[in-house]
């Protein structure tokens, strides 16, 4: 039997690791400016999509939409068969011809969002408020959709 002194393992590079690293670099490059040669994302995808929040409490379903820079006259809100639709158009600002454009990230044009509501609502009592660029639609639940308190009797 031969006794061999412990030696630290030698780290060798795995040949495929370099290829994976190259692949990751290529994917990162693709995501850095994916639409730079195609124009703005709004023109490619046919519009923009405002951010929305949907939440509910015991009495209401509430939908909030971020519509900064829009006039209330340019916003359409409809309710049909349990689906709330918010549509409209944000107009582009007048361009300044003498200025050089360095960055343009705001989207303009037509949009439409449709949200399937999580509970039945009373369409006759829906309220929509628009303040500081936020549209808040409050949809009262029907009596059937509201939670009921059940009294427990002792026998």
Q: How far is CA 111 from CA 11, 60, 94, in A?
A: 55, 25, 20
Residues 67 and 124 placed together within one structural domain of the fold: yes
Q: What is the CATH number of the domain that holds 79?
A: 2.60.40.790
23 and 82, same domain (yes or no): no
pTM of the full predicted structure? Answer: 0.63
In a domain, 8, yes or no: no
Residue predicted with more confidence, 94 or 60:
60
Give the count of domains, the chain: 2
Q: Which domain holds residue 34?
A: 14-39
Q: What is the mean pLDDT of residues 61-66?
A: 95
User: Based on the domain organization, do 101 and 119 belong to the same domain?
Assistant: yes
- Whats the size of the chain, residue-wise? 155
> Is the domain of 34 the same as that of 54?
no
pLDDT at 18 over 70: no
What is the tens place of the pLDDT at every residue in 103-134? Answer: 777 778 889 999 999 999 999 999 999 999 99
Alpha-carbon torsion angle 33, 39, 41, 47, nearest 10? 180
Mean pLDDT of the 76-97 span: 86
């Amino acid at each position: 039997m031969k006794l061999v002194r412990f030696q630290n393992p030698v780290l060798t590079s795995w040949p495929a690791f370099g290829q994976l690293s190259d692949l990751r670099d290529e994917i990162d490059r693709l995501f850095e400016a994916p639409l730079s040669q195609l124009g703005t994302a709004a023109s490619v995808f046919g519009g923009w999509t405002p951010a929305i929040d949907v939440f509910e409490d015991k009495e209401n379903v509430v939908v909030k939409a971020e519509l900064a820079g829009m006039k209330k006259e340019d916003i359409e809100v409809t309710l049909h068969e349990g689906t709330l639709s918010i549509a409209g158009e944000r107009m582009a600002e007048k361009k300044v011809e003498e200025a050089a454009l360095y960055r343009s990230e705001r989207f303009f044009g037509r949009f439409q969002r449709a949200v399937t509501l999580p509970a039945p609502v009373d369409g006759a009592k829906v309220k929509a408020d628009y303040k500081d660029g936020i549209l808040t639609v409050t949809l009262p639940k029907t009596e059937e959709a509201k939670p009921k308190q059940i009294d427990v009797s002792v026998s």
